[in-house]
Structure 1
Amino acid sequence: MAEKDEGQRSDNLPLKQPNEGLPRSYKELLGSTCPKKTSWPELVGSSSEEAKKKIKEEMSEADIQVVPPGYCVTFDFRFQRVRIFVDESDKVIRTPTVG
């Protein structure tokens, strides 16, 4: 039995491109659920309320979670979630990011 050549389909018709049908970019793979902005470094040092307000202005569908010091979080990725890590005085200590 002859082996299939790379770039050939099982019906022996050549593909137009070797990766035909695959997404061309990461954004195309994610589709319209991918937000335009994914992080807010300018919010480090601000209060959690200011940070929530700014993030909601730029990403209205965001599910914002304020994470106090010492709390554990899961490592799953969610397109709508933005975590805001704060210190004891409610100041943002890490760049809030989508995920």
Structure 2
Amino acid sequence: MEAECAAVQEKRSWPEVVGMSIEEAKKVILKDKPDAEIEVLPVGAAETKDFRPNRVRIFVDTVAETPHVG
């Protein structure tokens, strides 16, 4: 009987974290990819185009609280 080897595909995107807080999203991503180097960037931020297999970028665009001086 010949054993079959199934190639394990690493997860490359996390649509299920859309709408979560940054910390919640990080936990989900790190559960699937413990070696991820997570970068949090504002939507529209300049980003490098080099490919790094451990980098995962989270883009945010919501102001959570009223900005104030002080």
TM-score (norm 2): 0.70
Q: Deviations over 1:43-69 (max 9, x none)?
A: 111111111111111110000000123
1:89 matches 2:60: no
8, 19, 32: which one aligns with 1:58: 32
Structure possessing the higher radius of gyration over alpha carbons:
1
CA distance in structure 1 between the aligned counterparts of 2:62 and 2:43, rounded to whole angstroms: 7
SS in 1 for 2:40: strand
Secondary structure of the residue aligned to 2:38 is strand
4+ runs of 1 displaced by more than 3 Å?
Answer: none
CA distance in 2, matches of 1:45, 1:55: 14
What one-letter code is carried by the residue in structure 1 that aligns with 2:13? Answer: S
Matching residue's letter, 2:55: R
- Equivalenced residue count is 57
CA distance in 2, matches of 1:57, 1:51: 10
Provide Cα deviations, 1:8-43, integer angstroms capped at 9, x if missing partner. xxxxxxxxxxxxxxxxxxxxxxxxxxx610000111
Q: Using the TM superposition, give the Cα deviation of residue 70 of structure 1 relative to its aligned residue in structure 2, in angstroms.
A: 4.1
Q: In the alignment, residue 43 of structure 1 is paired with which amino acid?
A: V
Deviations 1:59-94 (A, max 9, x none): 10000000123421111111000000011336xxxx
Give, in whole Å, the separation in 1 of the partners of 2:52 and 2:44: 22
Between Structure 1 and Structure 2, which shows a larger proportion of strand residues? 2
TM-score, scaled to structure 1: 0.51
